[in-house]
Amino acid sequence: MRISNEQAQQIVNAQGVKGAKPVKGPEAARPTSGSDAVSVSSMGQDIQKALSAFGSLPDVRADRVAELKAQIAGGEYNVSGKDIAESLLRRATDKLL
């Protein structure tokens, strides 16, 4: 979507921006002299490392899935009704909070 200078000026006027000057063509978009710098805190770096590590983890634990499939196929997979009910209630209350 392109916004013309006229449309930008209408937005500025509608928002009541004080001290705004009309844009005058491409010369207004020229970069200024000087340099920009970005620095990331050590906490930000730690978060980035954690996100990278988390992103490399598989979505599915294949070893656990294979183990459960074998138990089900062999008729060895048993879950008590109490465990199922507790899990259902826990998930329902988590959604409410």
Could you give the percent of the chain with pLDDT greater than 70? 79
pLDDT higher than 70, residue 31: no
Of 14-18, 28-32, 35-39, 60-64, which has the strongest mean pLDDT? 60-64
pLDDT of residue 67: 95
pLDDT higher than 60, residue 10: yes
- 19, with CB counted inside 10 A (0-12, 13-18, 19+), is exposed
Q: Stretch 38-50: mean pLDDT, rounded?
A: 85
Domain residue limits, the chain:
60-97
Say which residue, 37 or 61, is predicted with more confidence.
Answer: 61
